[in-house]
Amino acid sequence: MLVEIALIVIVAAGLVVLLHPKVQHNVHWRAVVTPLASIIGSGFLVAGPVLSYAAGQLAVVAMLGLCLVAYFYGSAIRTTIRYSEAEIEAGTAPRHLLVTDRLSDAVLTFAYFISVAYYINLFASFGLKGIGIVDPNATRWVAVVVIGAIGAVGLWRGLGGLERVEVYAVGLKLAIIASICVVLLGIQTGEIATGTFSWPQISHDTGWNEFRVLLGLVILVQGFETSRYLGEAYDGPLRIRTMRYAQWLSTAIYLIFVLLATRYFTGQLPAVGGETEIIELLRPVSLLIAPLIIITALASQLSAAVADMNGAGGLVAEESGKRLSVAAGYAVTAGAAIIVTLFANIFEIITLASKAFVAYYGLQSLQAVWTLMRAKPPHWQLKAAFYSLGIPLAIVIVLFAIPVE
């Protein structure tokens, strides 16, 4: 009972703070919320079980590695924002920068197609889990219906109303994550004090295949790149600063949660419903864990899918030379996401989305190198050499990443 009371009190306190009008209208917080919504949305839900399967007791080390890769690519994007974004947007940058930016947008559009499928498949999985249904076929068809419905809303009415869910979803999500982490910390501190705490002996294979699975998990920490496309609302220095904040905050959340949750990991994923396994792993902690995680999943996946569909719709319109409207772009995105849903399972979608986003990050690394060669800031040669490493890293991930079997 004390655990349940603690969960309720912490969630309520978190909501009071995060949904307070002063917080909601703070320009820095609003600029942080958009990338943060994507980074810790789906990743928080599947990171634990999948990293347990791929890295066992070293799940938190694997999580740190993914966060460092994301921060490296985020830094490359911030370099473009700082030194060449204005010229690119004005069309006055050198041709190779403009071509790379255009190609990046095309790749990002494709990545958004897959990420919408990813978010809504998780939305469907956790929604059905809440009513006791664990069936991949049911998940697939519920996801198809939801994607179709969002696409239809976007086509006929726009996504403005649905998009406003994002700010509230992030507040709810952070409050629930904080409550779960505090409760897990309290339980494990008590176990350490009484001498009953034990680190799990997770038996799992460690080798090339497991490393390839980890390569396919970059989608867990994706989302920071959205700051690159908020130029109409926020200036460059603010976006650079708040993208860093979003990545620092998400890294702290991931590492704390994975470290505390490792106590409950098994290193195994069920043949069916592995994406919702976090519920079963943490169910012994409290009767409230399952409904809290399901609420988090539904709110965060819907808001993240709407945000990515919004981004994809705008990019489709731009890539078509304005021959297609943004509303038509929503329909195209929904159609592509439905095709992905019909022909891939959730773990295949995770890996496919990771590859698509990493291809975009590789192009952004190339753009950062060219930007530094043109701007020549202090130590530009060293920085250019550093960001050039992002190109072969992206190629390795695209070629060798595999889904969880």
pLDDT attached to residue 42: 65
Mean pLDDT of the chain: 85
Q: Which of 61-75, 213-227, 311-325 shows the lowest per-residue confidence on average (mean pLDDT)?
A: 311-325
pLDDT attached to residue 77: 95
Secondary structure percentages of the chain, helix, strand, coil, to 5: 80, 0, 20
Q: Kindly report, residue by residue over 64-115, the tens digit of the pLDDT.
A: 999 999 999 999 999 999 999 999 988 888 999 999 999 999 999 999 899 9
Written as six digits, the tokens of 367 are 């753009």
pLDDT attached to residue 267: 67
Q: Which of 18-27, 110-119, 143-152, 363-372 shows the lowest per-residue confidence on average (mean pLDDT)?
A: 18-27
pLDDT attached to residue 203: 65
Residue type for position 320: S
- Average pLDDT, stretch 374-400? 94
Domains of the chain: 2-399 (1.20.1740.10)
10 Å Cβ neighbour count for 203?
10
Q: Kindly report, residue by residue over 230-288, the tens digit of the pLDDT.
A: 777 789 899 999 999 999 999 998 999 888 888 887 767 665 666 777 888 888 878 88
| Alpha-carbon dihedral 306, 308, 310, 311, rounded to 10 degrees | 170
Written as six digits, the tokens of 77 are 């994007």
Where do we find the tokens 């919408």? 116
State the chain's maximal CA–CA distance in angstroms: 68
Phi, psi for residue 132 in degrees, rounded to 5: 80, 20
Where do we find the tokens 């007791």? 57
Cα separations in angstroms, 161 against 130, 233, 395:
26, 18, 38
Q: Kindly report, residue by residue over 171-211, the tens digit of the pLDDT.
A: 888 888 888 888 888 888 888 888 887 777 766 666 788 88
d(CA 127, CA 130): 5
Q: Which has the higher per-residue pLDDT, 233 or 220? A: 220
User: What is the DSSP secondary-structure string of 176-235?
Assistant: HHHHHHHHHHHHHHHHHHHT-----------SHHHHHHHHTTGGGG--GGGGGG-TTTS-
Q: Kindly report, residue by residue over 106-138, the tens digit of the pLDDT.
A: 999 999 899 999 889 988 998 898 888 888 899
DSSP label of 221 = G
Written as six digits, the tokens of 352 are 């496919």
Residue 349 neighbours by CB under 8 Å, 6+ apart: 114, 117, 118, 121, 340, 341
pLDDT attached to residue 166: 67
pLDDT attached to residue 30: 80
Q: Kindly report, residue by residue over 36-58, the tens digit of the pLDDT.
A: 877 876 677 787 788 887 887 88
Backbone conformation region of residue 132, classed left if phi is above 0, alpha if psi is from -120 to 50, else beta: left
pLDDT of 403 higher than 90: no
Q: Are 184 and 285 in contact (CB under 8 A)?
A: yes
Residue 287 neighbours by CB under 8 Å, 6+ apart: 4
Residue 196 neighbours by CB under 8 Å, 6+ apart: none
Q: Are 390 and 77 in contact (CB under 8 A)?
A: no
Written as six digits, the tokens of 178 are 């904080």
pLDDT attached to residue 405: 64
Residue type for position 13: A
pLDDT attached to residue 25: 80
pLDDT of 380 higher than 90: yes
Q: Kindly report, residue by residue over 138-151, the tens digit of the pLDDT.
A: 999 999 999 999 88
The residue count of the chain comes to 405
**What is the percentage of the chain residues whose pLDDT exceeds 70?**
93
Written as six digits, the tokens of 401 are 């990443």
User: What is the DSSP secondary-structure string of 242-280?
Assistant: HHHHHHHHHHHHHHHHHHHHGGG--S---SS-GGGHHHH
